[in-house]
Amino acid sequence: MADKLFELRIITPDRPFYEGNVRMVELNTSEGQIGVYADHAPVAMILSPGVARIHEEDGTVKEAALHSGFLEIGKKSVMVLAEIAEWPDEIDFNRAEEARIRAERRLASRDGEIDIARAEFALKKALTRIELKH
Amino acid sequence: MASMRDIKRRKESIQSTGQITKAMKLVATVKLQKARAKAENSKPYFDAMYKAVTTMLAKSGHVNHKYLNNSGTGKKAVILITSNRGLAGGYNTNIIKLVTGSGIAKEDMLVYSIGRKGKDFLTRRGYRIKADYSDVINEPMYRDAMDIAQDVLNAYMAGEISEIYLAYTCFMNTVSQVPVFIKLLPVSADDVQIEEDGDMAVMEYEPEEQETLDIIIPKYVSSLIYGALVESVASENGARMTAMDNATSNADEMIDKLALLYNRARQGSITQELTEIIAGANAIS
């Protein structure tokens, strides 16, 4: 496979999260899941909580949880500005499981007082984290 | 000449003050290293964020967007970042001076304070403090910045305020920190400088431009607040370190001077005693 490579940068407020030349990256955006190869048309998109899969040059696939932010696809590079990003080994799965149950309960109760958008976001975050557990 | 006992007491008091300032300097140095690493780690994000948003706004030209248009009551929100503790040289005074001298009338200003020093000072001067987030400054997290941004943007959307400013101290290096006062919102397309680097030239939006800006602008605001927070913490510790370093060397200098005075007084008293004894002995013989 002689796929063209492109530069991918994932940056969070706390640290530069990932930087490297990759073959392809899969991301979850507000418009659905996308896969980006080199020479993609320039576009700006919003991230949804989800698992990002980074396909590196040597064929390895790295997975990471990206929770919110946006991405900018340029002519030569792709830049992801994520507010929260985690590698699988940084996730506390027990806590994620708890968070999922809490969020589901909150959504189920729906007593008007709760912030539904927020609970949904929390649930999505928890599910993304759990998805990374294999 | 002061008596030996007075000089000694004075010297001891300065010595203990010197010990305190020295300890504070060491603490500030350690904290500075941490804060600085944090500021450096987060720098790429803000640079990228700033560039992305400015190019977006520049490309979209004069979009008619709620975050970009001035509306509301004409009140101006100022997010002021100071420290919770004093003894940091001119750190707090410089940034407060910048705010009080910004030309915004006292009545028009609503202060969102982060840091007790700034809050106390402005309260005494009769400014209106809308909200206070002083706990944040000890350990700023991105989450805190998001909450603050949310509060300010809610007030902005509700029409309570029509402009948002941010006052913080920019960390240049250990010895130089520059207080800055910037306007966060509304972003006027005319203020934005277009950077032509070619890579991000054509920009499409998915979803619609309006929706994208709805989501990106709050992120832009919270990231700027977070950046300001971490830079301010680094600046505070840098300023404190320099101030305490000066204080310690001043104390050392004073101790040296007092030691000299003390020795002179001691010598004087011995000489006097000798003279007295000799005079006494001479009188007897």
Q: Delineate the domains of chain B, giving CATH numbers in brackets.
A: 43-241 (3.40.1380.10)
CB proximity list for B223: less than 8 A, separation 6 or greater: A13, B45, B46, B49, B145
Residue A111's pLDDT is what?
65
Contact A15 B212 (CB under 8 A): no
Residue A126's pLDDT is what?
83
When CB atoms are compared, the residue of B42, B145, B200 closest to A72 is: B200
Instruction: Choose which CATH entry (1.10.10.10, 3.40.50.2000, 3.40.605.10, 1.20.5.440) describes domain A92-131.
Output: 1.20.5.440
Q: Are B49 and B220 in contact (CB under 8 A)?
A: yes
CB proximity list for A46: less than 8 A, separation 6 or greater: A29, A30, A70, B207, B211, B212, B215, B216
Q: Are A70 and B212 in contact (CB under 8 A)?
A: yes
What's the CA gap between A13 and B222, in Å, rounded?
Answer: 10
pLDDT exceeds 90 at position B260: yes
| Mean pLDDT within B11-38 | 92
What amino acid is encoded at A122 in this protein?
A: A
What's the CA gap between B157 and B221, in Å, rounded?
Answer: 14
What's the CA gap between B81 and B120, in Å, rounded?
Answer: 12
What's the CA gap between A39 and B16, in Å, rounded?
Answer: 67
Residue B221's pLDDT is what?
87
**CA quadruple A40, A41, A45, A49: dihedral, nearest 10:** -20
Q: How far is B250 from chain A (nearest CA, A)?
A: 38
First to last CA, chain B: 33
Chain A residues touching B200 at Cβ < 8 A? 42, 72, 74-75
A6-88 has CATH 2.60.15.10 classification? yes
Residues of A with CB under 8 A from a CB of B: 9, 11-16, 29-31, 41-46, 68-70, 72, 74-77, 79, 81, 83-84
Q: Which long-range contacts (CB under 8 A, 24 or more apart) does B32-38 make?
A: B32/B174, B32/B234, B32/B237, B32/B238, B32/B241, B35/B230, B35/B233, B35/B234, B35/B236, B35/B237, B36/B171, B36/B234, B36/B238, B38/A14, B38/B230, B38/B233, B38/B234
What's the CA gap between B24 and A14, in Å, rounded?
Answer: 27
Residue A83's pLDDT is what?
86
A6-88 against A92-131: fold identical? no
What's the CA gap between A29 and B110, in Å, rounded?
Answer: 37
pLDDT tens string B237-253: 999 999 999 999 999 99
| Mean pLDDT within A1-22 | 84
pLDDT exceeds 70 at position A131: yes
What's the CA gap between A121 and B79, in Å, rounded?
Answer: 28
- Nearest chain B alpha carbon to A43: B204
Q: Is A34 helix (H, G, I), strand (E, B) or coil?
A: strand
| Mean pLDDT within A37-45 | 84
pLDDT exceeds 60 at position B197: no
| Mean pLDDT within B167-177 | 86
pLDDT tens string B65-120: 667 666 666 788 888 999 888 888 888 889 988 888 887 878 888 888 898 988 88
Structure tokens at B43: 């720098």
Most confidently modeled range among A100-109, B28-37, B127-136, B148-157: B28-37
Domains of chain A by residue range: 6-88, 92-131
What's the CA gap between B25 and B237, in Å, rounded?
Answer: 9
- Nearest chain A alpha carbon to B211: A46
Q: In what order do the strands lie in the sheet with B128-132?
A: B128-132, B109-114, B76-81, B163-173, B176-185
Contact B206 A81 (CB under 8 A): no
Whether residue A49 is preceded by a cis peptide bond, meaning omega within 30 degrees of 0, is no
Structure tokens at B231: 């830079």
Chain A residues touching B204 at Cβ < 8 A? 41-44
Contact B206 A29 (CB under 8 A): yes
Q: What ipTM is given for this predicted complex?
A: 0.75
What amino acid is encoded at B71 in this protein?
A: S
What's the CA gap between A4 and B15, in Å, rounded?
Answer: 68
Q: What percent of chain B has pLDDT over 90?
A: 28
Residue B9's pLDDT is what?
92
CB atoms within 10 A of CB A9: 18
pLDDT exceeds 90 at position B174: no
What's the CA gap between B285 and A115, in Å, rounded?
Answer: 105
pTM: 0.82
